[in-house]
Amino acid sequence: MHFVDLHCHLLPSIDDGSSSIVETVEMLRVAHRRGTRGIVATPHTFQPMFAAFSSMELIGAFSRMMEELNELSRQEQYSFLQEMDVHLGAENFASAEFREALEKRKVLTLNGSRYLLVEFSSFMPFPLIEAAVDQILEHELTPVLAHVERYEFSYQLPESLDDLKRRGCVIQINAEAFDRRRNGEVMEFALSLARRGVLDVIASDGHDVRGRPPVVQGAFETLRRELPEVAVETWMSANPSRILANQSLETPE
Ligand SMILES: [Fe+2]
């Protein structure tokens, strides 16, 4: 089984992720070494903290990156790149600009599927999150809630996540949430979501090579000691693969 990582800031010189094609290649090397074979470049978009790029500009940057990766992959030391399946998506920040672009259908989904990765500000009140989720659903897109462990509402109103799921929202958690050394409280929360069957996808949200690397393997090792391996594989391989193929998801028993 290989991992498929749906959320990673691989696209160089766009946001706070990779700063160059050299860094992108090294991020891909780390991901490959740790068992990932499918990965999606999800640059921040509509996030006021970063420069605004249109979907067309991101598509252009992605195809330039792919040309360089394909070129490099012919060299012996970069031949691992041939085994990496790299796709384009975006991490859409639910701002007013995002909602406008959504109305015009000018948003980037994950690999052109109906699945749209969306993030909110950490302290956004739940009713506003619910309204944005509904707006995405009205456009016949499926929202994928990025890094569920980051939001205040996730802890204060954990049952609201079941509500989002019932509406059709997909729940993504970052692999680092299962790292007890970083934050025991987040880890307990993450495990409770896994046990309750609230999770759909585990992804790296990788930004660089060392600080926030594109690695999900540690979470896999932790989780398979706690839960049936088939469930963990669903979150880290089967479901992300289904999303990229625009198919419906599985919920492990
Ligand atoms: Fe992210």
In this structure, what CATH number is given to the domain that contains residue 163? 3.20.20.140
CA torsion through residues 92, 199, 129, 246, sign: positive
Does residue 171 belong to any structural domain of this protein?
A: yes
Element (H, E) at 98: helix 96-103
Does residue 219 belong to any structural domain of this protein?
A: yes
Element (H, E) at 228: none
Q: Burial level of 160, CB count in 10 A (0-12/13-18/19+)?
A: middle
| pLDDT, mean over the chain | 95
DSSP secondary structure string, 117-144?
EEE--TT--HHHHHHHHHHHHHTT-EEE
Does residue 251 belong to any structural domain of this protein?
A: no
Expressed in angstroms and rounded, the spacing between residue 162 Cα and the centre of ligand 1 is: 22
The span from the CA of 219 to the CA of 153, in Å, is 23
Expressed in angstroms and rounded, the spacing between residue 159 Cα and the centre of ligand 1 is: 24
Does residue 114 belong to any structural domain of this protein?
A: yes
Expressed in angstroms and rounded, the spacing between residue 203 Cα and the centre of ligand 1 is: 9
Expressed in angstroms and rounded, the spacing between residue 75 Cα and the centre of ligand 1 is: 30
Expressed in angstroms and rounded, the spacing between residue 6 Cα and the centre of ligand 1 is: 10
The letter for the amino acid at 227 is L
Does residue 36 belong to any structural domain of this protein?
A: yes
Does residue 26 belong to any structural domain of this protein?
A: yes
Expressed in angstroms and rounded, the spacing between residue 206 Cα and the centre of ligand 1 is: 7
- Structural contact between residues 43 and 78, judged by C-beta atoms closer than 8 angstroms: no
For residue 10, give its domain range: 3-244
Expressed in angstroms and rounded, the spacing between residue 85 Cα and the centre of ligand 1 is: 19
The span from the CA of 143 to the CA of 132, in Å, is 9
pLDDT in tens, 174-233: 999 998 777 788 999 999 999 999 999 999 999 999 999 999 999 999 999 999 999 999
The SS3 call for residue 221 is: helix
pLDDT in tens, 120-149: 999 999 999 999 999 999 999 999 999 999
Please state the pTM of the whole predicted model: 0.96
For residue 192, give the nearest of 165, 154, 163 by alpha carbon: 154
Does residue 250 belong to any structural domain of this protein?
A: no
The total domain count for the chain is 1
Expressed in angstroms and rounded, the spacing between residue 14 Cα and the centre of ligand 1 is: 12
Expressed in angstroms and rounded, the spacing between residue 90 Cα and the centre of ligand 1 is: 9
- Structural contact between residues 243 and 112, judged by C-beta atoms closer than 8 angstroms: no
